[in-house]
Amino acid sequence: MGGSGRTWSSIYKFTGSTTERVELSGERYKGFSRLDGNNPVVGWQDNQERIFICNFNSNKSCQTFDGSVIRNVEAETVYAHSQGCIGTFERNKEVVVIGGRDAAGKTEIFNGTSWRAGPDHPNNLAARGVAVDVGAGIITIGGYGDLSGYMRTCLLMTT
């Protein structure tokens, strides 16, 4: 998804050894350049298979994409999570975002209709972490936190 130059607002589908640009319908894709290492995309299965796209560089909005149609998510996050990490929670039933340049340590969880606050990250994760859903919680791996700089640890967060 995304890229730089003329491809920043494009979505591509990878199947086997081929790559094809997806013709989009629905809302305008609000993608942005991937040059700074953000990762605002996660697979999500609430009642259907789709991906969840968060556009944290400039705002607090998100979108979903089912393979052809983009839809805006009505609910917005409280914080802009630029450079934070995104993952799923409760075995892909919910989406979680953690940290960001202006939201160090802040966690928000989306249940399909609204966002709620999650537990604060113990190292105030701000950027470049990875979030992994393990069913019993979320493991964050690495990243930069305000309290101890770059982390060499894995942390399990539960609600």
Strand partners, 65: 51, 70
pTM, rounded to two decimals: 0.75
pLDDT for position 71: 85
- Within 10 Å of residue 6's Cβ, how many Cβ atoms? 7
Tell me which residue range forms the domain holding 82. 5-157
E strand intervals along the chain? 12-15, 18-21, 25-26, 41-45, 49-54, 62-65, 69-72, 85-89, 94-98, 107-110, 115-117, 125-127, 130-133, 138-141, 144-145, 149-150, 154-157
Q: What is the model's pLDDT at position 36?
A: 45
- Number of domains, the chain: 1
CATH number at residue 87: 2.120.10.80
Per-residue pLDDT tens, the chain, 159 aa: give them: 444 445 556 777 778 888 888 877 777 666 554 444 444 667 776 667 777 777 666 578 888 888 778 888 899 989 888 778 888 888 788 888 888 888 888 999 999 899 999 988 888 887 878 888 888 888 888 888 777 777 777 777 776
